[in-house]
Structure 1
Amino acid sequence: MKVSTLTLVAAALVGVSQTAAAETKIGFVNSDRVMREAGPAVRAQQRLEKEFEKRDQELQRMAKDLQGMQEELERNGTTMAETDRRTKERALNDLNRDFQRKQREFREDLNQRRNEELASVLERANRSVKQIAESEKFDIIFQEAVYASPRIDITDKVIKALSESK
């Protein structure tokens, strides 16, 4: 008798959960795609590239200078006078230290600015997701998932909403 009661309760619960699942509207947003393709994200990336372009070019020039000095020292180091070789090695070490410091500062500044820009875009994206969720009566929208069916993917809607907003 207990087995049949448990079976009936389990069947009822399965029926209730299936009904609740059928009424639940679920969506998914691919955040990575939004941050790559949405207009504000693309513009933020362009601003960053423009802002850091000169410093990047300076670092590339310094790297070339370092490589040239290193090659010259390797090529002519054995035939140079001891004092000339030491002077060139010291200059190479000084330039290398300066290069590494500037490179580290560049990365830190770039990361800080990227985080600022992306935080702004992410905030706008979250507002767009919330507006879509409210207007289309979604119960839940996921941003991270191992798998999401294209049927529930609203990423294109979010990108479009972001690109249209000012």
Structure 2
Amino acid sequence: MILPTGTFSKRLICTFALAAALGASAAQAGAQEARIAAVNSDRILRESASAQAAQKKLEAEFAKRDKGLRDMAQRLKSMSDALDKNAASLSTIERADKQRELSNLDSDFQRKRREFNEDLNQRRNEELAAVLERANRVIKQIAEQQHYDLIVQEAVYVSPRIDITDQVLKALAANAAN
């Protein structure tokens, strides 16, 4: 599953937001300590039941095209092997015709493979965006129920003490069951 997880500027903004939240919290005289948690989005996209269901849905949706491409690749290989084997016995015209046919088939294969990859990536991004949207709703519910001041999803390091990814995964599973 490939989905961009952020850029340097996104992380920089998150860092500034975290620093501002911590600074504002510390600036309040007599205020209670800020409650902060972290969620590993990559784990959500790998381990959640909804992400795994999305992956199976994509596999089923693209299985026929994938098989067609594998068959076409095998046909290309067979034609290439046959041309290599029989090249010496073919006339110049026959050899040129076979090479042209092989070249046309290869071009068609490359185009279809590129289209397949583009379509698959687009659908994967759509499915993963839906998974992340559900996860974000669950994270917001957890934040409200447990009175978190800040929950981050992108961090260089997260202490296991504040990592609530397992809790989010359980809540997503419970929501999927309902």
Give yes or no for TM over 0.5.
Answer: yes
Alignment partner of 1:36: what SS? helix
- Give the match for residue 49 of structure 1: 59
Q: Residues of 1 paired with 2:162 and 2:120: CA distance? A: 35
Q: Residues of 2 paired with 1:135 and 1:153: CA distance? A: 16
Deviation at 1:21, TM superposition (A): 9.5
RMSD: 2.0
Q: Residues of 2 paired with 1:152 and 1:134: CA distance? A: 16
Deviation at 1:79, TM superposition (A): 2.0
Output one character per residue of 1:101-160: Cα deviation in whole Å (capped at 9) or x when no partner: 110110111111111111111110000000001101111111111110101000011111
Alignment partner of 1:27: what SS? strand
Gaps of 5+ in 1: 1-15
How many pairs does the alignment contain? 152
Q: Specify which structure has the higher proportion of helix.
A: 1
1:79 aligned onto 2:89: yes
**TM-score under structure 1 length normalisation:** 0.85
Q: Which amino acid aligns with 1:151?
A: R
The structure with the larger Rg is 1
Matches within 5 A, 1:124-163: 124-163=134-173
Deviation at 1:61, TM superposition (A): 0.7
Q: Residues of 2 paired with 1:153 and 1:76: CA distance? A: 64
- Give the match for residue 62 of structure 1: 72
1:164 to 146, 152, 174: 174
Gaps of 5+ in 2: 1-25
- Give the match for residue 13 of structure 1: none
1:123 aligned onto 2:133: yes
Q: Residues of 2 paired with 1:63 and 1:86: CA distance? A: 21
**TM-score under structure 2 length normalisation:** 0.80
Q: Residues of 1 paired with 2:31 and 2:54: CA distance? A: 39
